[in-house]
Amino acid sequence: MKAVDIVGTAFRNAFRSRLRTSLTVLAIFIGAFTLSLTNGLGTGINQYIDDTVASVGVDDVMTVTKASETAPTDGGPAEYDPNQIAADGPPGSTVSALNDDDIDTIAGIDGVLSVLPTKSVMTDYVQYDDGTRYQLSMAQFVPGMKVELAAGEQVDLDADEAQLVLPESYLEPLGLGTADDAVGQTVTLAVTDATGTRTTTDAIVVGVAEPGLITMGGAIPNDALTETLYDLQAAGAPESKPTQYAQASVWFDADAGEEETQALQDRLEAAGYTGSTLEDQLGTITSVIDAIVLVLNGFAVIALIAAGIGIVNTLFMAVQERTREVGLMKAMGLSSARVFSLFSIEAVVIGLAGSALGVLAAIGVGELVGSVSGSLLANLPGLTLIAFDPVSVAVVVLSVMAIAFLAGTLPALRAARQDPISSLRYE
């Protein structure tokens, strides 16, 4: 019997007992469906987080601030520190300011590739076409970051013209119309200098940022706009006053491994600074999601183990029912290896049928949930609650087929070891 004949015979024999095989396929279907759906849920949420994480930072950039020496130790108020300045975070949050000497010190620490100080810019308002003025904060943006855009493009950090990406929530109040209408428009930004004089400058809106679960606050300026606003804000300040920065972005070798990254953070701490990586800021969120998906996958694996037991039972029954048939095939010269292959392929066929149906049903449910959840999750644009990665789908199908093959090994071995004479006498 040729290999093609064995495969064809296995396909036919797999559904000889339709009711028993259908119940086994149903058990596999449940496991494959659950596993595909939970993987799709994890893929969808992680894809959304990966997209929005790019607006918070990049893997090889560490945010460095100066360790505070005036933090309260008993829950009481902190002592006043003239070197503290406003920081990104909740209203009123402050950090100890960095100066040029600190930047030089950080740059000299082993493991630091480059340092970019963050210039703190406080805008008074943003205005469009002599309309109503609204408060607007500026967020730091470093190379490698991206924000989810409703329209337009990311700011060009190297451009000579002042650019910014405006949050979508500002379009209607400013009278900019739709996101597409806002791109290319010019808005006016105001700052107050060291003498108390308010001055303004213009910037071009190159993009409109969508709201997200994890996103930086305020508008995204390019370097040209940041420098302009900072210079206007610093105008009139005494020359003796040192330049102060809220924080610094430190580039390091992220591929060196967790131990090297932790060693760099320890060296920064020893020098009086605090270094925070992107993983430090967001690791808890992704860990919780991965843990939930892992638990859900555990239930799917239990269902697949139960299905595997069903395959063992189905094939043991098939071997017993076809004892005389197996004996006849072996008496006609069919080798034990061919008999083993025949029953093993039957198990794989059952696994393929159940996993394929389970994956297709999961994709259908995912599409249905996506259409229904679109309105419920309108505040999280860009989120596909259940997304299916072709590689993950293929892994699920192949894994279930592998489990089916392993489950069919014992019955197949029993059939392969049968004595043809005894089998032909079996009643």
Q: Are residues 333 and 213 in the same domain?
A: no
Structurally, how many domains does the chain consist of? 2
Q: Are residues 188 and 270 in the same domain?
A: yes
CA distance 6 to 342: 6
pLDDT score recorded for residue 153 = 92
Q: Are residues 271 and 304 in the same domain?
A: no
CA distance 416 to 251: 63
Q: Are residues 119 and 253 in the same domain?
A: yes
- Tally: H helices and E strands in the chain: 13, 12
pLDDT score recorded for residue 268 = 92
pLDDT score recorded for residue 213 = 46
**Is residue 314 within 8 Å of 350, Cβ to Cβ?**
yes
Q: Are residues 398 and 269 in the same domain?
A: no
Given 240, 258, 276, the domain boundary residue is 276
pLDDT score recorded for residue 203 = 95
CA distance 103 to 111: 14
pLDDT score recorded for residue 51 = 63
Q: Are residues 237 and 301 in the same domain?
A: no
Residues 6+ positions from 55 with CB-CB distance below 8 Å: 145, 146, 147, 148, 209, 212, 214, 215, 216
Neighbours of 18 (CB within 10 A): 10
Q: Are residues 256 and 360 in the same domain?
A: no
Q: Are residues 105 and 244 in the same domain?
A: yes
Q: Are residues 257 and 296 in the same domain?
A: no
Residue 150: its H or E element: strand 149-152
Handedness of CA 398, 400, 402, 405 (dihedral sign): negative
Parent domain of 231 = 61-276
Structure tokens at 318: 């098939």
Given 276, 297, 324, the domain boundary residue is 276
Q: Are residues 336 and 270 in the same domain?
A: no
Which positions of the chain have pLDDT values less than 50? 70-71, 73, 80, 89-93, 213-215
The SS3 assignment for 220 reads strand
Instruction: List pLDDT tens digits, range 329-361.
Output: 777 777 788 888 887 888 888 889 888 999 999
Q: Are residues 320 and 235 in the same domain?
A: no
Distances (CA, A) of 97 to 82, 218, 233: 9, 21, 17
Given 238, 256, 276, the domain boundary residue is 276
Q: Are residues 206 and 302 in the same domain?
A: no
CA within 13 Å, CB half, 407:
27
